[in-house]
A and B are shown apart, each in its own frame.
Chain A
Amino acid sequence: MKPIFGPGPSLQLRLLLAVVVSICLILTDANVGAFAKVRLYLHSAVSPLQYLANMPRQMMDSMSDQVMTRAQLQQQVAALRQRELLSRAEQLTMESLTKENERLRALLGSPLRRDNRKMVAEIMAVDSDPFSHQVVIDKGSLDGVYEGQPVINDLGVVGQVHSVGSTTSRVLLISDASHGVPVRVLRNDIRAIAHGSGELNRLDIPHLPRSTDIQEGDLLVTSGLGGRFPEGYPVATITFYEYQEGKPYADVQAQPVVALERLRYLLLVWPESSRQ
């Protein structure tokens, strides 16, 4: 009969080694910032697997594109044409408003706001790690994606880039328990920070005094403080406000304007300041 574990260290020793190495890894990964560079290479190394895992869905998608009927396509084209017409019409006034805004800002002596460069990214896989809300997108450092880059979609803020590989990167969603966005209430410019709650459809706004003028239904937009998210993108609407006697702060919850469980296409934003 074969020797059970062959030559080499005993099973216990192997376990000890594995435990020590993995604990060291966990601690360095959590505490040493320079480790992100190592992660980039490791991340790039495993990204082919992610492309492979994404293939079945991609095939399904292309198949459902193939089997669309002519009538459906015509309908779609008509709907899209109408939408384009509408958004063009809106853009007409938009342009004159932007000009006006620029002139007013110049009069006030405040810095001009310029359009940000954007790029469309597609979600490849939704992360199945139950503790963090992340998605993987199909753009990486080769496309100019950088760590901490804001990510939005057509409705509002989605999150920020968390780690970058060469062809894929991870986006941390605003609902992640470790994420916070500086926001202001659109109605009256009260500043706050929207923390992720660990649930996809809820953000917490802690440390608001009881006297704060905030109501259910208020829209929160990014305040631009902190310099990471550009100013003015919608983040969430207040869904719950309560103050209990004796507590130091009010209990405020908000719902993200983006349906975070149904993401498909995202926009990467390059804010003006980061290009300089």
Chain B
Amino acid sequence: MKIANSRSVVSASLFIALLLTIIPLPLGVDAYRPDWLLLCLVYWTIALPHRVNVGVAFTVGLILDLLLGSTLGVRALAMSIVVYLAASNFTRLRNFSVWQQAMVIGLLAAVSKLVVFWAEYLVNVVHMPENYFHSIITSVVVWPWVFLLLRKLRRQWKVT
């Protein structure tokens, strides 16, 4: 019962993060869209590293690749690497204050963006848009609120 409950909460939050990632936004705002999926995945990795780690990240990244129509596997690779980094340091990350965590999130978002760019660069003709890295800032700014919201959810439903 408990396992089913926690699974449904985690997957519901990841589902909403996916939706937020693909919801159409005006062109000017689009570059500043926070990396919702990364935030959500990293939160669950820090909170429940025995449940959410590389496997989940890979699957969700693959779904995002399909939704965005990019080369299959690019975001799966990036998400796996980021979640590996978070999962192997989860004890340290848990003890950080929220703002310190936000800085780490900025680093992780940058890693994921770089991996995505490199992987695309290897197989396709791509140009890096000037505002490619701007969304890292919004990811950092949004993290504390995502963190508080998800922690509230986790406590309310006693997700373990």
Contact = CB atoms under 8 A, between A and B. Distances in A.
Interface residues of B, number: 48
B72 to A, nearest CB: 4
Given A56-B23, A177-B127, A15 B54 contact: yes
Contacts of A30: 71, 123-124
B53 A19 contact: no
B31 A130 contact: yes
A56 B25 CA distance: 11
A6 B21 CA distance: 31
B139 interface: no
A37 to B, nearest CB: 13
11 contacts: A5-B50, A11-B87, A15-B54, A19-B80, A21-B76, A22-B62, A25-B72, A26-B71, A30-B71, A126-B30, A197-B127
Given A18-B54, A127-B68, A178 B124 contact: yes
A215 interface: no
Contacts of A170: 69
A6 B53 CA distance: 12
A15 B70 contact: no
Interface size band for A: 35 or more
A26 B72 contact: yes
A18 B57 CA distance: 9
A30 to B, nearest CB: 4
B119 A131 contact: no
A26 B77 contact: yes
Interface in B114-132: 117, 119-120, 122-127, 129, 132
B10 interface: no
Say what secondary structure dominates the interface of chain B. Answer: helix
B147 interface: no
Contacts of A28: 72
Contacts of A177: 124-127
Contact of B120 (A14, A21, A131): A131
Interface in A24-66: 24-31, 35, 39, 42-43, 45-46, 49-50, 52-54, 56-57
Interface string A173-191: 0000110000000000000
Interface of A: 2-6, 11, 14-15, 17-19, 21-31, 35, 39, 42-43, 45-46, 49-50, 52-54, 56-57, 124-132, 134, 136, 162-163, 170, 177-178, 197-198, 200, 261
B126 A18 contact: no
A11 B66 contact: no
Contact of B69 (A5, A134, A178): A134
Interface string B33-60: 1000000000000000110011101100
Contacts of B4: none
Contacts of A22: 58, 61-62, 73-74, 76-77, 80
Contacts of B49: 4-5
Contacts of B53: 5, 11, 14
Contacts of A162: 69
A19 B27 CA distance: 32
A200 B30 CA distance: 14
B19 interface: yes
Nearest to B120: A131
B12 interface: no
Nearest to A177: B125
A26 B119 contact: yes
A21 B57 CA distance: 13
Contacts of B54: 11, 14-15, 17-18
Contact of B132 (A4, A31, A45, A130): A130
Interface string B65-107: 0111111111011001100100110000000000000000000
